[in-house]
Amino acid sequence: MSAEPNLGAPPRHAGMWSRFVDRVSSVEGATSFALFRIGMGLSVIYDIGSTVLAGLVPVLWIDVSHGGMRALGDGPWLVEWLGGPMPNVVWPLVFGALFGGLMLTLGIGGRAMALVTLVVTNNLLDINGHAGGSYDELLSNGLWLCVLGGGQGTLSVTARLQHGTWWPAATSLAFPRWLAAYQLVLMYCMTGLQKLSAAWVPWGDSSALYFILQQPSWHRSDMSWLAYVFPLTQLATMVTWFWEVLAPTWLLAVWWAGRTDVGRIGQWANRIGYRWIYMGIGLFMHLAIFLTMEVGPFSFISVCFYAAMVHPAEWHSLVRWIRERSPRLRPE
């Protein structure tokens, strides 16, 4: 006679599912994601606001039949539902996106406000496929993460009203921050892997940055003087390519930080501060891009993702370090 089956035994993959649930349910200090939320709110204001200040809203987002640059059709779903890309539809969406960016920055409205800001902003940016850039998709992904993670528990008006302080010791889900970190390194790595021309790869002539900075459509001012320091532009091209392709190692270094069970490579990365070196190179590159190239809000939006690469407790340590060295900032 066969034995009775063990009806209480867990399913075969219960352990894997439990680990997954534990991962997505884990919480951490809310500071890093709150800074990311603030960055995404400011990015919306920058992206939409720069278009307004340049006087390009009627040109780019309003149909030619109402004075725009080209025929835009019915527009994306919300624009179409409201009546199409005409002034009395587009301008309210512009002000709605700016208002949403402000509320997101201030931490008012939580996930619902993040969702509304995402929908309105995306519909604006999708009106004209000939305007904008890949930074619009990066901003869209960041706003989706704000819908997932919220982030208004600290560094927000909501926190001030609820706890009487701008920076309470709040917690938030950890996985939205890690998704933001993954999004950043994925963008860098894929960008590097797509740069396979002889002008980019180290075994070519590494002339890419030099020629990019000679194009009026990219540079902010005349850069012909770079011909006298051409080898330096070659070095910058090689550093940029390697830095982008190796971006996943930055995410690993962030994961290894503060851990002891990371093996020799992880211990070495922690000892030399590999993640801070990587971040420093990235910040310098974006500053150089901002100063020399016309690439819209790309650098600003990208750097806002850097908040996700810093563990929440480290922000508190940074503030303590600054206060210890700045007597004026010490609390009375």
The answer to whether residues 48 and 144 belong to one domain is yes
The answer to whether residues 167 and 57 belong to one domain is yes
The answer to whether residues 204 and 71 belong to one domain is no
The answer to whether residues 211 and 253 belong to one domain is yes
The answer to whether residues 198 and 309 belong to one domain is yes
Position 3 scores a pLDDT of 46
The answer to whether residues 45 and 155 belong to one domain is yes
Position 18 scores a pLDDT of 79
The answer to whether residues 43 and 166 belong to one domain is yes
Q: Is residue 266 part of a domain?
A: yes
Q: Is residue 78 part of a domain?
A: yes
Indicate the residue among 173, 201, 220 that finishes a domain: 173
CB neighbour list of residue 261: distance below 8 Å, 6 or more residues apart: none
Which uninterrupted H or E stretch holds 275? helix 274-292
Q: Tokens representing 236?
A: 């910058």
The answer to whether residues 201 and 165 belong to one domain is no
The answer to whether residues 162 and 197 belong to one domain is no
Position 241 scores a pLDDT of 97
Position 123 scores a pLDDT of 97
User: 219 pairs with which residues across the strands?
Assistant: 293
Chain centroid to CA 207: how far?
28
The answer to whether residues 231 and 156 belong to one domain is no
Q: Is residue 161 part of a domain?
A: yes
- CA-CA distance, 63 to 128, in Å (whole number)? 9
- CA-CA distance, 188 to 278, in Å (whole number)? 12
The answer to whether residues 119 and 233 belong to one domain is no
- CA-CA distance, 283 to 179, in Å (whole number)? 20
Residue with tokens 């006679």: 1
Domain count, the chain: 2
Position 13 scores a pLDDT of 57
- CA-CA distance, 43 to 164, in Å (whole number)? 27
Q: Is residue 20 part of a domain?
A: no
Q: Is residue 71 part of a domain?
A: yes
Q: Tokens representing 314?
A: 């480290």
The answer to whether residues 79 and 113 belong to one domain is yes
- Is the whole model's pTM more than 0.85, yes or no? yes
Domain that holds residue 206: 190-313
Residue 190 Cα distances to 138, 324, 328, angstroms: 13, 41, 45
Q: Is residue 141 part of a domain?
A: yes
Q: Tokens representing 54?
A: 């340049």
- The greatest distance separating any two alpha carbons of the chain, rounded to the nearest whole angstrom, comes to 91
Written as one letter, the residue type at 144 is W
Position 310 scores a pLDDT of 96
Q: Is residue 17 part of a domain?
A: no
332 residues of the chain, pLDDT tens digit each? 444 444 445 555 567 777 777 777 889 999 999 999 999 999 999 999 999 999 999 999 999 999 999 999 999 999 999 999 999 999 999 999 999 999 999 999 999 999 999 999 999 999 998 888 889 999 999 999 999 999 899 999 999 999 999 999 999 999 999 999 999 999 999 999 999 999 999 999 999 999 999 999 899 999 999 999 999 999 999 999 999 999 999 999 999 998 888 999 999 999 999 999 999 999 999 999 999 999 999 999 999 999 999 999 999 888 888 878 776 655 54
Q: Is residue 14 part of a domain?
A: no
